[in-house]
């Protein structure tokens, strides 16, 4: 999916269209208070982005799609927190659990009713879990 989106961007997809797709696959329905608010946010953001944004983002998508560290995660030897969203379309729970299973002593926490942008959807919960984890490992 990421490579397909990157190809569309490289073939001339507008920044506005890219932002609409990314919002649709990064957030849950509950995050959108109104379609007008979403449209205004997309239009405003698209106006403020440089023309290179879409091409750079396409490179990011391609790198993400092709990046595979499954054979390397066993080497992680430090306390690790993996925060996951239960409705993440980009990195589904199946893959998050596979990642977490490969990290010795991992702390996997799933945040309910969130998508890929869980930091933006549930910032208070994200911060509380992160600070809680950091306080545990600093003892």
Q: What is the pLDDT along the chain (139 residues), one digit of tens a residue?
A: 777 877 888 888 877 787 778 777 777 777 766 555 566 666 777 776 766 777 787 888 788 777 888 888 889 999 999 999 999 988 899 999 999 999 988 999 999 988 888 888 888 999 999 999 999 987 6
Q: Could you say which of 3.40.50.11320, 3.30.70.1450, 3.40.309.10, 3.40.605.10 is the CATH number of the domain covering 74-137?
A: 3.40.50.11320
Provide the 3-class DSSP secondary structure of residue 31: helix
Distance, in Å, from the CA atom of 39 to the CA atom of 51, rounded to the nearest integer, reads: 20
CA 95 to CA 93: how far, in whole Å?
5
pTM of the full structure: 0.72
Q: What is the structure's pLDDT at 68?
A: 83
| Interatomic CA distance for residues 121 and 28, integer angstroms | 8
Would you kindly state where each structural domain of the chain is located, as residue ranges?
A: 2-66, 74-137
**Alpha-carbon distance 98 to 75, whole Å?**
15
> Torsion angle, CA of 125/129/108/57, rounded to 10 degrees?
60
């Amino acid at each position: 999916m990421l490579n397909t989106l990157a190809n569309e961007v490289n073939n001339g997809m507008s920044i506005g269209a890219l932002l609409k797709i990314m919002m649709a696959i990064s957030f849950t329905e509950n995050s959108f208070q109104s379609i007008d608010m979403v449209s205004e946010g997309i239009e405003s953001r698209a106006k403020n982005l440089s023309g290179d944004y879409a091409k750079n983002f396409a490179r990011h998508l391609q790198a993400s799609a092709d990046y595979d560290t499954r054979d390397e995660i066993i080497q992680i030897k430090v306390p690790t927190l993996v925060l996951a969203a239960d409705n993440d379309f980009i990195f589904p729970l199946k893959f998050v659990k596979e990642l977490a299973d490969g990290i010795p002593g991992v702390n996997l926490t799933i945040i309910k009713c969130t998508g890929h942008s869980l930091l933006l959807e549930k910032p208070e919960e994200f911060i509380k879990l992160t600070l809680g984890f950091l306080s545990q490992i600093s003892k």
